């Protein structure tokens, strides 16, 4: 058995952490507004959680989604819990734009175009400000 | 404006329907245990729903996931709400297997191998039986 990648390192910038979960911003040049809600306990599937924790997990996903929508007005939000490579529960929350490198394909599909200037420069606010808004929304969730 | 594809046709077999949502099984030869929870009202984003409906939507996703896990013991469950091409709220619930054509890539990624005999023949029960179990689980949700 190999060690779980998410249990040892997150592969992104830590934006928020509480007892049950943490949220990171992925380091992805194509998709700068790409966050992950990572459940702290090592479970593989969303339904491994009891219903109350499952609900808390989705409240976190909704909080991130809401900030991305309000701050960036993206063309679409993409949500996914896959974990085929890293079977430790994590939810991708990604702001997608009609101009992004893969739209309308999923971020895991084929690139559709080159993007210049780079994607992060096209957002209406700096990523540090976006991170702060995400963290504030998550800090406002019940039970924290 | 083009008409919404999901408002006119579902592109799959209807397995369950109630006032708020319906569930179809996608016609996908590579991924036979591939269901979609489609919200009946035409909204684009999951957070367009008020929290109670958002929760009901996820209870439906969890019910389908639970049946797939118990009936098929898949390698992994994949959940996603993308909607870049069809911006009408729908959740993909897909049982993935180590032997499937794309594993561990997402179903939207590159194929990794050819699969013979066909994927549906490898499941431990016929798809009609799986559909029946999915429908029964959904009929047991509160408020129905």
Kindly state whether A71 is in contact with chain B, defined as any CB-CB distance less than 8 angstroms. Answer: no
**Confidence class for position B2, pLDDT limits 50, 70, 90:** low
Q: Quick check: A75 contacting B, CB < 8 Å?
A: yes
A65-95 residues labelled b (16+ CB within 10 A) or e (exposed): bbbbbebbebbbbbbbbbbbebbbbbbbbbb
Report the relative pairing of strands B12-17 and B21-26 from DSSP bridges: antiparallel
pLDDT in tens, B12-71: 999 999 999 999 999 899 999 999 999 999 999 999 999 999 999 999 999 999 999 999
**What ipTM goes with this model?**
0.96
Has residue B1 got a pLDDT over 70? no
Taking only the tens place, the pLDDT of each residue in A54-106 is 999 999 999 999 999 999 999 999 999 999 999 999 999 999 999 999 999 99
The token pair at A109 is 């599909």
Token pair of A137, please?
Answer: 């929304």
Does A131 score more than 60 pLDDT? yes
Provide the percentage of residues in chain B whose pLDDT is more than 70: 98
| Residue B142 confidence (pLDDT) | 87
Q: What is the mean pLDDT of chain A?
A: 95
For residue A34, list its beta bridge partners. Answer: A94
Mark yes or no for CB contact A106/B46 under 8 Å.
no
**Is the per-residue pLDDT at B143 higher than 90?**
no
Closest Cα in chain A to B55: A55
Round to whole Å and give the CA distance between A23 and A38.
Answer: 6
Q: Which candidate in B82, B89, B91, B102 is best for mutational testing of the A interface (most A CBs within 10 A)? A: B82
Q: How confident is the model at residue A143 (pLDDT cuts 50, 70, 90)?
A: confident
pLDDT of residue A3: 81
Mean pLDDT, rounded, of chain B: 95
């Amino acid at each position: 058995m190999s060690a779980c990648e998410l249990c040892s390192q997150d592969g992104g910038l830590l934006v928020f952490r509480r007892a049950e979960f943490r949220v990171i911003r992925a380091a992805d040049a194509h998709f700068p507004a790409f966050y992950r809600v990572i459940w702290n306990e090592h479970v593989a599937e969303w339904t491994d959680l009891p219903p109350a924790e499952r609900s808390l997990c989705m409240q976190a996903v909704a909080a991130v989604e809401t900030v991305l929508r309000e701050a960036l007005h993206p063309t679409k939000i993409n949500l996914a819990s896959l974990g085929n490579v890293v079977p430790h529960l994590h939810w991708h929350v990604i702001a997608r734009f009609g101009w992004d490198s893969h739209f309308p394909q999923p971020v895991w599909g084929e690139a559709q175009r080159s993007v210049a200037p780079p994607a992060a420069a096209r957002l209406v606010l700096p990523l540090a400000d976006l991170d702060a808004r995400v963290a504030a929304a998550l800090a406002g969730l019940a039970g924290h």
